[in-house]
Amino acid sequence: MSLEQTIAHIGPLDEAAMAAARVRQDNLTKPRGSLGRLEALSIHVAGITGQTQPRITHKVIITMAGDHGVVAEGVNAYPQEVTAQMVYNFLRGGAGINVLARHVGARVVVVDMGVAATLQPHPELVIQKVALGTQNIARGAAMTRQQAIQSIEAGITVVEAEIARGLDIVGVGEMGIGNSTPAAAIVAAFTGRSAAEVVGRGSGVDDAGLARKISAVQRALAVNRPDPFDGLDVLAKLGGFEIGGMAGVMLGAAAHRRPVVVDGFISTAAAMIAVAIAPQVRSYLIAAHRSQEPGHQAMLTWLGLTPLMDLDMRLGEGTGAALGISLVEAACKILSEMATFAEAGVSDRQ
């Protein structure tokens, strides 16, 4: 579907399914509320899917890769060619996301959204390349508005293809050397926070590198003057092709009533873009964890999301989303597999 069609298909949560799920939760063989957020999580997923007892069987993590022109400003500890090298590592199954995806029983879908190299063909590599990396945001717009739309629609195409294969829940992740800089610029644009408040060390820059990142974000905001009320404008001026792709995955999944587990700092920047474009998508998002990046909490606050975990993670790739998917699956299993007082023949409270 096109971006406009996708937005039109995103409906509200199913209140009837949530009410039925809430009744069942309150009658399971446990003190009411004793499983805390797991109970609320299962009710939320019932509302997303429209199923009173949602089942999570087909788990997918979509990891999108793209490069960034802002690396020319010395904002990263690693050279740009690491993006392509890590894509090959994903395809070989050797990265952190591969390990955690195997752990939770999810398949990993690797997408080239804008790596600054021509990657070797691979049967498991999805090519949706918009361009060979973005332009330098410290000196002008990252991409054109049409490229921003193209990246989002590519994400919609990818998630719809995976839904056709079988997808009950999707986690979003990324790979892109330098991408914590555009993510910081995005959160500053939407929240009005200063660059110094939201810029972190990313993959581990030293103090001089941190100062260069802060300066790059300040210049990106001053040069581009993004409109915080226009998500496409923010994406085009400050974002990345993988960020647009992840936003498209979120929008496409919501249009098909699938829960979306958002990973860390970069993925949450994509969530901000998606929500700015279509506010109704917010109800379909589940924040996996709180990143070490200082700007991440500002993002979560702006989105109104409470993360499931806080493990001091900052790897990206979808690693936090994989663990989040495991918790969502556990919550849904409690709702569907645990016996009610009546089913178990156990006396309820007086």
The residues that are catalytic are 317
3-state per-residue secondary structure call for the chain: CCHHHHHHCCCCCCHHHHHHHHHHHHCECCCCCCCCHHHHHHHHHHHHHCCCCCCCCCEEEEEEEECCHHHHHCCCCCCCCHHHHHHHHHHHCCCHHHHHHHHHCEEEEEEEEECCCCCCCCCCEEECCCCCCCCCCCCCCCCCHHHHHHHHHHHHHHHHHHHHHCCCEEEEEEECCCCHHHHHHHHHHHHCCCHHHHCCCCCCCCHHHHHHHHHHHHHHHHHHCCCCCCHHHHHHHHCCHHHHHHHHHHHHHHHCCCCEEECCHHHHHHHHHHHHHCHHHHHHEEECECCCCCCHHHHHHHHCCCCCECCCCCCCCCHHHHHHHHHHHHHHHHHHHCCEHHHHCCCCCC
How many whole angstroms separate alpha carbon 134 and alpha carbon 153?
Answer: 17
Query: Measuring CA to CA, which residue among 238, 237, 236, 244 is closest to residue 64?
Result: 244
Lookup: tokens for 100: 């955690």
Lookup: tokens for 194: 């200063």
Question: From residue 180, how far is each of 49, 188, 198, 304, 316 by CA, in Å?
Answer: 32, 12, 10, 21, 10
Q: Note whether 81 and 133 are within 8 A (CB).
A: no
Strands 260-262 and 285-287: parallel
How many whole angstroms separate alpha carbon 7 and alpha carbon 40?
Answer: 26
